[in-house]
Amino acid sequence: MLSANLEQTLHRALAYANERRHEYATLEHLLLALSEDSDAVAVLRACGVDLDRLRGDIRDYIDNELSNMITAHVGEANGYAEMDRAARTEVLVRLHTLRQQMPRRDNSRANLALADFIAPDSTGLADYIGAFAVTAGLNEDAVADRFKGANDDYSSILVKALADRLAEAFAERLHQRVRKEFWGYAPDEDLDNAGLIAERYRGIRPAPGYPACPDHTEKRTLFDLLRAEENAGITLTESFAMVPTAAVSGFYFSHPESRYFGIGRIHKDQVADYARRKGMSVTEMERWLAPILDYDPDLGEA
């Protein structure tokens, strides 16, 4: 749960963006809002910061340079309804998951795949998976470089660290709203910060490249589904790293028994089947899955 001060600061940042018809609330909008927060002001004054000059510099940057980079975008009011109808009548994308191949002493524990947390088509049940991509790093490099150009390496590093933390907080807050409002499967959830950190809520948000979903190439499918470049200003490099780096993306699962796990090592039979399903060569797939292969590709199955 956000503190009252932080919640008010975030609302002010959004208000500054809306007033200027900016498509996004960026780090600059947040810095301007922070410059009016009582706790932040106390710290800034203790550090000898000229608040009037700081606010003036930020406003000047927002109203001149930043306004040329981000513009207002008004979407169709029925856009989500159209996506929902399309999702129910046609295949938009196909997501692929890997399964654990761990030896078990008994049958008490299954080898898991993320697909286990979605109802199979054969059940006839309507089930859902969510997707998200968020960032707090738009124009982060420009702000950091400005500090670096002024020989203020500390502030440059701090800007990047702050953007990273805000992106993680954004992802946490959005997931909370998904559970309580958008999907609404946990409307009465009432967790404090300790409960959120301990993930005592229902559902998970695994990300491509992490233990339960170690294939980074699935990020391309995720970004195509969300049109993340267009809608969030986040792009992917050839190695599927996100730019800005202060960004988080992944999937939402709401199954009551969904949990995080690691795929662990996998054998060549699964790699070959996975490559076939994704329409890629085994050699290319082995390159992307190299950290979890249970064999040497140059020698074959161990």
49-108 pLDDT tens trace: 788 888 888 787 777 766 554 443 333 333 333 334 444 567 788 999 999 998 887 777
* Same domain (yes/no): 181, 56: no
Which residues does the chain have with pLDDT short of 50? 1-3, 69-87, 302
* Same domain (yes/no): 57, 118: no
275 inside domain: no
22 inside domain: yes
Strand partners, 300: 296
* Same domain (yes/no): 118, 51: no
Rounded CA-CA distance 52/242 in Å is 35
* Same domain (yes/no): 108, 241: yes
Single pTM value for the model:
0.72
Q: Are strands 235-236 and 130-135 parallel, antiparallel or unpaired?
A: unpaired
12-38 pLDDT tens trace: 877 877 777 765 667 677 778 888 887
Report how many domains make up the chain. Answer: 2
Domain span at 12: 1-74
DSSP symbol at 211: T
* Same domain (yes/no): 29, 128: no
146 inside domain: no
* Same domain (yes/no): 214, 134: yes
* Same domain (yes/no): 84, 62: no
Predicted local distance difference test score (pLDDT) of residue 83: 38
